[in-house]
Structure 1
Amino acid sequence: MVQSEPGSRHQPDGAVPTNTRITTFTTTTTTTTSRSRGYFGMGEQKCILTQSCCGCSLRTGSLAIGIIGLVFAVLHSIYGIYNGVNGNGQGWVNMIVGILNVILCAVLIQGIRQEKRSMVMTWVWVQTILVAINIILGIIEIIVTLNIVFAIVLFIVMGIAIYCILVVRSYAFSIGGGTGGMA
């Protein structure tokens, strides 16, 4: 619509006087879509990182997490075997947990190499469950022993573990179609 300034003459249709102000209003409509295909109604786009620590790409950070996790899992398995051979029954349990972590890290690394979101998200879900279990057991341990040093170490280690999960999860969303879940 053409609005004339006060005191200007109206021109014939189609002509715009030189001292006429044209006002345009733009309306932006924002629609919110629910993309909560994950469990418990969590939106999948929450806590998405754009890069890993030190400015690395998500792929590089995820690969580093997989390789470092693989090294620690192998060492954990060896330590479990050592304890088991020396008569500690818990050592064999540690060996089994270490071997499962080796398999899980191998799945993560292969998923990153092949850019298969389902393999990467398998690691994310299993690690999320393991971190939750470790936090619960750690809190119980803190309550029973009242060990403040253990509480600080638990807080730092679980913070690093959660950050690693967020990096790998963000990478999974960057390679996938954005759907939630493991498939």
Structure 2
Amino acid sequence: MGEDSRNSSSCCGRLRITRCCCGCTLKTGCLIIGSLHMIWAIVAIGVGLGLLVYFNIVGQSLGWHREALTTINISFGGLLAGGVAQCIHSAILIHGTRKGKAGFLFCWEMFYIIGMVLTAIGLVLQAGLWGIVSTVVGLLFGVYFYIVVNSYRLELMAGGENSNIEGKATSSHAMAHYNQNMHRQNMYHQNMSHIQQNLHNIQQKY
């Protein structure tokens, strides 16, 4: 079991990069990937819902057969459901990236692998050059997106302990700065109190 774990870690390490192809950081790359997928999901939801409503209204007014409406509902209903699932999937990636949560990124990777496997199966069933080319291009981009997210997850896991130490040091520095400010305020109020007392004594004397 330990050997399998080491082999798995070694395999993930080979798929690791330090920066994205555009020169930005891995965190920025993950946010871009999540945003692109989120945009696609919103478009898919809008198109799927709009076409579902449109074709059902038109089909019923023109008296289309029930079988035709069922086929339309299954097709565009699948597009709508896929958009909703992709929206949730993208939200997991964006949230995990912003908060530095490696577990969220791992969850995204698992579902992303499942999606890529289904896409590869669809490639086998494609009956057309354009469909095959577009699917292959999509898979290549998908592999690169996975490598970017996996690299950032490994970076978070490797720097988790250092991040905690830095966070504690930052908190201690902030507390010391707060205590110093409170001390200065107390000294200021004490001095003002002494000054007021001296003025009061002077007024009583004269």
Q: TM-score, normalised by structure 1?
A: 0.70
- Give the percent of matched residue pairs that are identical in Structure 1 and Structure 2: 23
2:130 maps to which residue?
149
Change (3 A) 1:35 1:106: same
2:5 is the counterpart of 1:36: yes
AA in 2 matched with 1:161: G
* Matched pairs, number: 141
Alignment of 1:1-40 (within 5 A): 34=3, 36=5
| 1:136 shift after superposition | 1.1
| 1:91 shift after superposition | 1.1
| 1:173 shift after superposition | 0.7
- RMSD value, Cα: 2.2
Larger displacement relative to structure 2 (67-76 or 44-53): 44-53
Larger radius of gyration: 2
Q: Find the aligned partners of 1:154 and 1:93 in 2 and give their Cα distance.
A: 18
Larger displacement relative to structure 2 (150-159 or 163-172): 150-159
1:134 maps to which residue?
119
2:152 is the counterpart of 1:167: no
1:137-162 alpha-carbon deviations (Å, 9 max, x no partner): 11222xxx2x2222222111110111
Structure number having the greater helix percentage: 2
Q: Find the aligned partners of 1:92 and 1:82 in 2 and give their Cα distance.
A: 10
Q: Secondary structure at the match of 2:16?
A: coil
Q: Find the aligned partners of 1:105 and 1:124 in 2 and give their Cα distance.
A: 11
Change (3 A) 1:37 1:80: farther
1:9-67 alpha-carbon deviations (Å, 9 max, x no partner): xxxxxxxxxxxxxxxxxxxxxxxx9573587x973312111111211111110110001
For structure 1, the 5+ residue unaligned runs are: 1-32, 179-183
Q: Find the aligned partners of 1:111 and 1:155 in 2 and give their Cα distance.
A: 28
Q: Find the aligned partners of 2:13 and 2:143 in 1 and give their Cα distance.
A: 16
1:94 maps to which residue?
79
Alignment of 1:54-69 (within 5 A): 54-69=22-37
AA in 2 matched with 1:36: S
Q: TM-score, normalised by structure 2?
A: 0.63
